[in-house]
Structure 1
Amino acid sequence: MPFVDVSGLRMHLIDEGDGSPLVFLHGFPLDHSMWDGQRRGFRSSHRVLIPDQRGFGKSTNRNDIVSMDQFADDVAAMLDAVGAEGSVTLCGLSMGGYVALAFARRHAHRLGRLVLCDTRSLPDTPEMAENRRKLADRVLTEGSRIVVDAMLPRLFGPHTNERHPEIVDAVRNVMLATSPRAIAAAQRGMAERPDSTPSLSEIRVPTLVIVGEHDVISPPDEMRAMATAIPNATYVELSEIGHMSPTEDPVRFNAALQDWLAR
């Protein structure tokens, strides 16, 4: 089932394996492929669901702005479309984490476990939000490369940049292929996202908070504070890697996730 029709869009979806649903939500401006290591690592034990979120990868989008709530509602509609009943484990990185937090607020009854990877609960500052809106306007006229140039140097830890250029190149290629319209719509949506910090204490499901040691976008200190605020949270920090922890070191990321899922 490579495509499903949900919430007015045609969503591209990886759906492999059997067992309890394990949903992975990619970061910005990426697609399902960033989770290839987890797809291979968990499809023998779980039903792995990895959507291209609205406008990204092979999924369609007609909106000029896509809120985190809309992305979250898309996930809920996707679960309905594929018959994924009961509670799910939802794992989101960066923007995918914003979506996961929105899902926890809006669809808490469907959430069994939550994994927050290299993400933030805080909203943008007014300056950051305005910069997002300006970049959204520019990308529509100048193309996706301006986002790649702005973001790529900050995504990876020094170890990955120096020793694994193939990982950096693969992510660069996905970013370059991303639709400028999708980039602009998501940027505008992220600029308007609410502060999720007050709702962290309301998360009642087991939660894994995982971050790379050298993440400069979602710093470890900030994510450690998130874990402290969530009642039943486990904090894991992976050494030598940056913002793209599941892509930079899928072996250690998968081991941490598997250990937590087994508890």
Structure 2
Amino acid sequence: MPYIERNGIKIHFEEEGRGEPLLLLMGLGADLSAWEPHRQVYRNCFRCISVDNRGAGLSDAGKAEDCTTESMAADAAAVLDSLDIKGAHVAGISMGGAIAQILAVLRPELVRSLLLINTFARPEPYMRRIMGTFQDFYDCLTPLAFDRLLQAFIYSPATFAGHPEVLTERERQLEQNTDSRMAADAFRAQCEACMGHDALPYLERIRVPALVVAGKADILTPLSCAEELKSRIPGAKLYVNEGGHVQHFEHLDVFNRISLEFLKKNMGQKEAGI
């Protein structure tokens, strides 16, 4: 399994597909396998590089105080550097989108386009309270009970009402994979990274095509977060899908079509300023 090491921390990543590089950054508490419903479309056109953020999947956690969106952006940049990739399209979901923003600001030469999914430039007070609740209950509840708490914040009411089988299947998979659960300290550190994220003062520096995708019923990163990103990133576009914080799963076919259209449209795009 491929790893890079940065400042003593091993970061795991995977590659598949052929074409222009596409860096995939996942959100809070999730490993790179969560990209699979999207990778199965992307890998037909792109060289997908999926990264386990520090503390997730097979990557080391390191010290909790070192877990920030800046450090995770540097980890992702180190992966690209190790592969001698001079520029990539970058997609990030939730916390992964926050990391992608920082990467585009700190290493603009590495970023050809930005796909920002259900994410935020700066956490709102409501999101901070939710993150604090997640931290408090992560190892107080059973994995199943905690996931049911999480479901209430990330899925839309329409999924609970119309597609309860989606949640049942999620719970079945969770019960079969309890050994892969993220360590509590690492999870809390990622929550702190989200709460400490603030790219708002720097978004105007981003000079690559950007698509912001939001869920109409997202309460964790509401539509106002997406609108803020669109207004601050020059030339950014906004697509509002049905669904909640995981609209990319709830309305998978629509999301895959919209995101792939954006990525393919920007094939051949050079890095900022070139």
Match in the other structure for 2:183 = 179
Structure 1 CA distance for aligned equivalents of residues 83 and 146 of structure 2: 33
Q: Alpha-carbon deviation of 1:213?
A: 1.6
Q: Alpha-carbon deviation of 1:24?
A: 1.2
Structure 2 CA distance for aligned equivalents of residues 90 and 139 of structure 1: 30
Match in the other structure for 1:51 = 51
Match in the other structure for 1:193 = 197
Q: Alpha-carbon deviation of 1:252?
A: 1.1
Give the SS at the match of 1:27: coil
Structure 1 CA distance for aligned equivalents of residues 219 and 127 of structure 2: 15
Percentage of identical aligned residues: 25
Match in the other structure for 1:36 = 36
TM-superposition CA deviations, 1:136-161 (whole Å, max 9, x none): 46646767667535422110123333
Deviates more, 1:5-14 or 1:59-68: 5-14
**1:262 aligns with one of 261, 264, 270:** 264
For the Cα contact (< 8 Å) 2:80–2:86, is it kept in 1? no
Match in the other structure for 1:3 = 3
TM-superposition CA deviations, 1:159-189 (whole Å, max 9, x none): 3333153356437827981221210111222
Change (3 A) 1:31 1:164: farther
Give the SS at the match of 2:214: strand
Structure 1 CA distance for aligned equivalents of residues 249 and 166 of structure 2: 11
Structure 2 CA distance for aligned equivalents of residues 135 and 82 of structure 1: 35
Give the SS at the match of 1:199: helix
Aligned length: 259
Superposition map of 1:109-120 within 5 A: 109-120=109-120
Structure 2 CA distance for aligned equivalents of residues 152 and 112 of structure 1: 33
Change (3 A) 1:250 1:3: farther
Superposition map of 1:1-263 within 5 A: 1-65=1-65, 66-83=67-84, 85-125=85-125, 129=128, 132=131, 136=135, 139=138, 148-161=147-160, 162-163=162-163, 165-166=165-166, 169-170=169-170, 173=174, 177-194=181-198, 196-239=199-242, 241-263=243-265
| Paired amino acid for 1:67 | T
| Paired amino acid for 2:189 | A
Structure 1 CA distance for aligned equivalents of residues 218 and 163 of structure 2: 17
Q: Alpha-carbon deviation of 1:16?
A: 0.3
After TM superposition, the score normalised by the length of structure 2 is 0.83
For the Cα contact (< 8 Å) 1:64–1:185, is it kept in 2? yes
TM-superposition CA deviations, 1:196-252 (whole Å, max 9, x none): 22322221100000011211111123312321222121111112x111122222221
Give the SS at the match of 1:251: helix
Deviates more, 1:65-74 or 1:170-179: 170-179
Instruction: Name stretches of at least 5 consecutive residues in structure 2 with no aligned partner.
Output: 266-274
| Paired amino acid for 1:199 | Y
For the Cα contact (< 8 Å) 2:18–2:44, is it kept in 1? yes
Structure 2 CA distance for aligned equivalents of residues 98 and 20 of structure 1: 22
Instruction: Name stretches of at least 5 consecutive residues in structure 1 with no aligned partner.
Output: none
For the Cα contact (< 8 Å) 1:6–1:78, is it kept in 2? no
Structure 1 CA distance for aligned equivalents of residues 223 and 59 of structure 2: 32
Structure 2 CA distance for aligned equivalents of residues 48 and 31 of structure 1: 15
Structure 2 CA distance for aligned equivalents of residues 67 and 170 of structure 1: 28
Structure 2 CA distance for aligned equivalents of residues 102 and 124 of structure 1: 18
Give the SS at the match of 1:262: helix
